[in-house]
Amino acid sequence: MAAAIGAGCGITGATTYSLGVLINPLSDAFGWTRTEVSAAKTFITLGFVLTAPFIGYVADKFGVRRIAMLSLLALAIAMLAMTQLNGNIFVFYGALLALAFAGCATTPLVWTRGVATWFEKKRGIALGLTLTGSGLAGVIAPAALSALINAYDWRAAFIGMAVAALLALIPVYFFFFENGRQTHQTSVPPNVALHSGFAVREAFRSRRFWQFGFGFMLIGAVVSALIVHLVPLLTDAGMTRDLAIKMASILGVAVILGRVTTGYLVDRFHPPYVAGFFLSMPIVGCLLLSGEPGSVWLVILAAVTVGIAAGSEVDLVPFLTARYFGLKAYGKIYGWIFVFFYAGVGVGPLFLGRMYDLYGNYNIALDVAIPTLALGVLAIVTMGKAPPFAKPQASL
């Protein structure tokens, strides 16, 4: 529960789902193009990429609880600082980079590192429930932030996210602990699984590591682009802004569905095949959105396919990291996988924004997204059988 709340209020939760809502208000306020505003995701992602290996090292060596709390506090301060934007696009980009640095320990790397130490047989569903926090943010954030913007202006959205990050400190302080480290709970048995698995250098020499990273880089690029541009894509197709924001909230519901369902199934079936099924769904969404949506129900279906894949990908990255590489260097290895994944996440929205500015619509970009996603899914499906690792003691 504590990890889910932290994930929802962290940098990859409400912040990610707020970008689509903020594109038009920031463009209207400062006269920025859609490409310029879409680059927000790129700069936030650059912060993830630069800090992820370091955060992974710190998480493995010192644990995740303290760094998560410090990062939530720093994120709240950085959110408040965003209200001082003055229209200079380079100041905006610098502020986004600082925002990512501040919230670098509120990513799934940290929350899943803590939860994964407690579970083995049911690790998939445990991680799925953990990451429903960001899915709930996807349901709540678009409507809540839009209401704040309509009542006040774009600055109110950043203040709202700052308050959420501060409130998340309460459950994290009282309930977020790792298995196998000194906590307020007495007599926790040694966790053998924490010392089982690949070292970082061994992972780098593995074909699976590079295949894993490449596949999720392509998948992350497509799915993140569709999430960030969903609201403007729908408004361009003739929907009212209020209805488009409701569609974005439906996407958040689908994210939760994707995470819980994927977590349940990977505990029972071959995980790469489960991944292939869910991660290929946005191909249907791209086909539906490449022309003017014929009805609201087709738009809902498109949003659901994107949301389910978004939920699955974020759930699958930590699960497959633990399954294929173990917990011995989980933070460090996940940190590097994070670099691949968020490299794609950062480029995808920028590409869609650029295509819109060049052609006046998203059709060509969506046509490119389909084979890109298919290639990424193929890389994950062919991962093969995972090696056996020691099972954690006192696990659930």
Q: What is the Cα 244 distance to its own chain's centre?
A: 21
Q: For residue 387, is pLDDT > 60? A: yes
The predicted pLDDT at position 295 comes to 67
Quick one: average pLDDT of 13-28? Answer: 80
Quick one: average pLDDT of 309-319? Answer: 82
Q: For residue 391, is pLDDT > 70? A: no
Taking each helix axis from N to C end, the angle separating 108-116 and 2-9, rounded to the nearest 10 degrees, works out to 170
Quick one: average pLDDT of 160-180? Answer: 90
Residue range 212-234, pLDDT digits in tens: 999 999 998 988 888 778 777 77
Three state DSSP letters for the chain: CHHHHHHHHCCCCHHHHHHHHHHHHHHHHHCCCHHHHHHHHHHHHHHHHHHHHHHHHHHHHHCCHHHHHHHHHHHHHHHHHHHHCCCCHHHHHHHHHHHHHHCCCCCHHHHHHHHHCCCCCCHHHHHHHHCHHHHHHHHHHHHHHHHHHHHCCHHHHHHHHHHHHHHHHHHHHHHCCCCCCCCCCCCCCCCHHHHCECCHHHHHCCHHHHHHHHHHHHHHHHHHHHHHCHHHHHHHCCCCHHHHHHHHHHHHHHHHHHHHHHHHHHCCCCHHHHHHHHHCCHHHHHHHHCCCCCCHHHHHHHHHHHHHHHHHHHHHHHHHHHHHHECCCHHHHHHHHHHHHHHHHHHHHHHHHHHHHHHCCCHHHHHHHHHHHHHHHHHHHCCCCCCCCCCCCCCC
The predicted pLDDT at position 181 comes to 54
How many whole angstroms separate alpha carbon 135 and alpha carbon 137? 5
Residue range 189-213, pLDDT digits in tens: 445 455 667 888 888 888 889 999 9
The predicted pLDDT at position 61 comes to 80
Q: For residue 260, is pLDDT > 50? A: yes
How many whole angstroms separate alpha carbon 199 and alpha carbon 184? 29
The predicted pLDDT at position 248 comes to 67
The predicted pLDDT at position 188 comes to 42
Q: For residue 116, is pLDDT > 60? A: yes
> What is the rounded average pLDDT for all residues in the chain?
82
Q: Answer with the residue of higher pLDDT: 86 or 396.
A: 86
Q: For residue 290, is pLDDT > 70? A: yes
> Per mean pLDDT, which of 101-105, 298-302, 313-317, 389-393 is the most reliable?
101-105
Question: How much of the chain, in percent, has pLDDT values that exceed 90?
Answer: 21
Q: What is the pTM of this model?
A: 0.70
The predicted pLDDT at position 193 comes to 52
Question: How much of the chain, in percent, has pLDDT values that exceed 70?
Answer: 90
| Domains along the sequence of the chain with CATH | 2-178+193-381 (1.20.1250.20)
Q: For residue 186, is pLDDT > 50? A: no
User: 138 CB contacts (<8 Å, ≥6 apart)?
Assistant: 17, 248, 249, 251, 252, 253, 255, 256, 307, 310
